[in-house]
Amino acid sequence: MDALDVARWQFGVTTVYHFLFVPLTIGLSVLVAILQTMWHRTGNERYLKLTKFYGKLFLINFAMGVVTGIVQEFQFGMNWSDYSRFVGDIFGAPLAIEALVAFFLESTFIGLWIFGWDRLPKRLHLAAIWAAAIGTNLSAYFILAANSFMQNPVGFRINPESGRAELTDFVAVLTNKVALVTFPHTLAGSFLVAGSLMVTVGLWHVMRNRDSADTGAYRFATKLGSWVVLISSALVILTGDIQGKIMTEVQPMKMAAAEGLYTTESPASFSVLTVGSLDGSREIFALKIPYLLSFLGTGDPNGTVQGINDLQAQYASQYGPGNYAPIIPVTYWSFRFMIGFGLAAAAIALLVLWSQRKGRTPTSKWLLRAGLVMPVLPLLANSFGWIFTEMGRQPWIVFGEMLTRDGVSRSVSLTEVLTSFTAFTLIYAVLAVVEFKLLVRYARAGVPDVTPQTDDDDTDDAERPLAFAY
């Protein structure tokens, strides 16, 4: 074990952890904004209750996303300083713009929204949650544009004197085709999580809390969440399909690794299940659907999909001797888990909708259980999606331009990385438990009472309690 391994593990752990909170922030910010808009439009208290209820869950999660996000930005400099030196001219810009354009918007307006219930006119208060939601969603674009440069570097040249990558076309970086398709894919994946949480909480109250006066509100949330899950899963599939084709073109090794396809095939078949040798270098048993991989990768059932061994030979002659294949079992399984868990969430959403058709109240114990695990499924799908796309790029940190092992900080010792890895893992583990328990506590508590307090207009403004206080 050396500093490189630990730095990689740290990046993996902190990034996957960060992305447990991000999808909920992205999706729920918009869903809460929609609920508040409905209240604003109709004046129906049910939507106000739901806004406050899901808003609370949103904020418990939001705090975690914010604090774990700071680590992400600093980590590049701390553990990956040679990477930062190499790509800083290109990679730093989207990060800085993300902070200036998106994070300020998000953080300032979320503060206004949390504390502004009685301080702002209703319309402005509604605008605040929308501004925060837009900031959140916008931030995803910039960070994904930065990540897409690592997958498919564009708009740059290598300075022969310094050996560093230099920006030549910023528009090309922002309109990188990988970024353009990854953005909607990631957003749809995020709404999958947010919709699922909405269903879980709503369904639990519909089934467990039958006599509640707020059953109508919970039923509405359950349905809204289910539709969000179904629509976003359709979008995930659609964008994922385009992604597959782009990946086949710009990162053929990743596509081959996703499929465990060792030799180039035309037509190529899609592996439903492949059992490989332990080191992942050859297959032992495989169940395959003919033509499907060619179709997914190229749009043509007879198209050629390059295999790992051929690509390895090609890269070795292009970049010099070395192993240019990622760890195949990791890419192969993470790819399948991503798809599988995502589809499972969509299937449950369908069941939930069916169980409530024509005003019925679901009673099945199994449905309730399935509903309870529902948000975990798209969360896992998101995590595996990231593991797949980042591990599938290996051994490169910037595809074709810099190897991961050359990006690590030279001045940072193994002890230092181990210290930070241990510290982050510990604090993250503790906070995960705390956060989960709080979410459950507040989800169980149900929608709040929103009857306005006896508004004594004689009370001096300075004496009145705050509408919300920490």
Partner 1 sequence: MELTTVWFLLVAVLFTGYFILEGFDFGVGMLLPVLGRDDRQRRVLINTIGPVWDGNEVWLITAGGAMFAAFPEWYATLFSGFYLPLLLILLALIARGVAFEYRHKRPEASWKRRWDQAIFWGSAIPAVLWGVAFANIFRGVPLDADHEYVGGLLDLLNPYALLGGLTTLGLFLTHGAVFLALKTTGDIRERAGALAVKLGVGTAVAAVAFLSWSLTIRSSAAAVVLAVGAALALLGGLAAAKVRREGWAFTGTAVAIALAVATLFAALFPNVMPSTLDAAGTLTATNAASTPYTLKIMTWVAVIFTPIVLAYQGWTYWVFRRRIGVQNIPQH
Q: State which of positions 407-466 bind partner 1 (CB under 8 A).
A: 409-412, 416, 419-420, 423-424, 427, 431, 434, 438, 441-442, 461-466
Distance CA 88, CA 156 (A): 12
- Give the separation between CA 51 and CA 220, rounded to whole angstroms: 12
82 or 310: whose CB is closer to partner 1? 82
76 or 386, CB closer to partner 1? Answer: 76
Site string for partner 1, 367-406 (x = CB under 8 A): ----------------------------------------
> Is the CA virtual torsion 373, 375, 379, 384 positive or negative?
positive
CB of 440 to partner 1, least distance (A): 12
User: Within positions 167 to 206, which residues make up the interface with partner 1, using CB under 8 A?
Assistant: 167-168, 170
- Comparing CB distances to partner 1, the nearer of 64 and 236 is 64
DSSP code string of 290-337: TTHHHHHHHSSTT--B--HHHHHHHHHHHH-SS-----HHHHHHHHHH
Query: For residues 263 and 419, which CB has a smaller minimum distance to partner 1 in the complex?
Result: 419
Per-residue binding string, partner 1, 236-265, x by CB under 8 A, is: ------------------------------
Q: For the segment 114-173, give every residue that binds partner 1 (CB under 8 A).
A: 114-116, 119-120, 166-168, 170
Judged on CB neighbours under 10 Å (0-12, 13-18, 19+), 67 is middle
Q: For residue 248, what are its two tokens? A: 């086949």
Q: Tell me how many residues contact partner 1 (CB under 8 A).
A: 78
Q: How many CA atoms lie within 13 A of 250 on its CB side?
A: 20
Contact assessment for residue 248 and residue 284, using Cβ atoms and an 8 Å cutoff: no
Where helices occur in 374-413 by DSSP H, the ranges are 376-391
Angle between helices 3-42 and 122-151 (to 10 degrees): 150
Q: Which is nearer to partner 1, 110 or 181 (CB)?
A: 110
Contact 398, 150 (CB under 8 A): yes
Q: Which of residues 91-110 bind partner 1 (CB under 8 A)?
A: 91-93, 95-101, 103-105, 107-110
Site for partner 1 in 47-86 (CB under 8 A): 59-60, 62-64, 66-71, 73-74, 76-79, 81-82, 84-85
Separation CA 11–CA 15 (nearest Å): 6
Least distance CB 438 / partner 1 (angstroms): 5
Kindly give, in sequence order, each residue whose CB lies less than 8 Å from that of residue 300, ignoring residues fewer than 6 positions away. Answer: 294
Q: How far is the CB of 458 from partner 1 (least distance, A)?
A: 15
Which x/- pattern over 9-48 shows residues binding partner 1 (rule: CB under 8 A)?
Answer: ----------------------------------------
Cβ within 8 Å of residue 10, ≥6 positions away: 75, 79, 417, 420, 421, 424
CB of 379 to partner 1, least distance (A): 19
Nearer to partner 1, 135 or 244 (CB): 135
